[in-house]
Amino acid sequence: MKNKVFLLLFDARMKTSSDRHNYSAFLRKLKGEGFVSLQKSVYMRNFCGSRPLKEETKRIRRFTPESIQVRILELPVKTFAAMGNVNCDLPKLAQDTDVICV
């Protein structure tokens, strides 16, 4: 099985109270799917398995409102861990090399 990281980058329109409500609901769903925040509009998920990017994109599309634009990038964990970091640390989730896949 492949250990990979999905990086999810998004931009949310926040013009109305409905937009703000949709944004909050979107964040709750993202967190429910196992994504953790790297920055305000950048989330990541460490995934062990063979789920393709196309399938993950379909899952995210189901609960993404029209007011939010989303990009998803799939990276091997080693590539993600090799990213340069200034004034920040990688989440503990992405640093674990001993992942057990069930």
| Residue in 89, 25, 15 with CA at minimum distance from that of residue 63 | 25
CA distance 67 to 65: 5
Q: What pLDDT shows up at residue 93?
A: 47
Which token pair is 26?
């979107």
| Mean pLDDT along residues 22-42 | 93
- The tens digit of pLDDT for each residue in 35-83 reads 999 889 999 998 877 778 888 899 999 999 999 999 999 998 888 888 8
- The tens digit of pLDDT for each residue in 9-20 reads 999 999 999 999
User: What is the C-alpha radius of gyration for the chain, rounded to an integer number of angstroms?
Assistant: 14
Rounded to the nearest 5°, which phi and psi values hold at 6? -100, 120
Q: Given the structure tokens 């998920």, which residue do they identify?
A: 45
CA distance 50 to 1: 6
| Residue in 10, 13, 67 with CA at minimum distance from that of residue 35 | 10
- The tens digit of pLDDT for each residue in 82-91 reads 888 788 776 6
